């Protein structure tokens, strides 16, 4: 992976993390860095899942891939928030 691919994964991960956090109702007690980390992981996993289903490369916008990524980010935000709340 080239440096441009890594930088774009980070930027897309930030956006996916923020969107995933916005989808979750209520207040989350996780910080910005955790949101970014969850977004990056969700973006990478979502891309892999979309590629596995064969919906990663389409002629137009990759709506299914984005939906998978945002759903994974929302699940990650909820899991991390609940995990930190138990401490």
Tell me, yes or no, whether 2 lies in a domain.
no
Q: Is residue 24 part of a domain?
A: yes
H helices of 1-87, in order, are 3-23, 32-53, 63-85
Is residue 46 in some structural domain? Answer: yes
In a domain, 34, yes or no: yes
Return the pLDDT at 1: 52
Asked whether residue 8 is assigned to any structural domain, the reply reads no
How many domains, in total, are found in the chain? 1
Residue 44 lies in a domain: yes
Q: Note every long-range contact of 21-26, with CB atoms under 8 Å and residues 24 or more positions apart, other chains counting.
A: 21/73, 21/74, 21/77, 23/70, 23/71, 23/73, 23/74, 24/74, 24/77, 24/78, 24/81
Residue-range definition of the domain harbouring residue 65: 14-85
Q: Give 14-39 pLDDT, tens digit per residue.
A: 899 899 989 998 888 888 899 889 99
Q: What is the pLDDT along the chain (87 residues), one digit of tens a residue?
A: 567 777 877 888 889 989 998 999 888 888 889 988 999 999 889 888 988 988 877 777 778 888 998 999 999 999 998 887 776
Within 8 A by CB and 6+ apart from 18, the residues are: 35, 39
- Residue 5 is assigned to a structural domain of this protein: no
Q: Which pTM was predicted? A: 0.84
Is 7 a member of any domain?
Answer: no
């Amino acid at each position: 992976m080239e440096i441009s691919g890594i930088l774009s994964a980070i930027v897309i991960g930030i956006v996916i993390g923020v969107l995933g956090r916005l989808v979750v109702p209520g207040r989350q007690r996780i910080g910005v860095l955790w949101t970014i980390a969850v977004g990056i992981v969700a973006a990478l996993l979502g891309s892999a899942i979309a590629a596995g289903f064969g919906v990663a490369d389409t002629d137009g916008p990759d709506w299914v891939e984005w939906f998978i990524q945002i759903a994974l980010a929302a699940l990650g935000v909820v899991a991390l928030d609940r995990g930190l709340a138990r401490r």
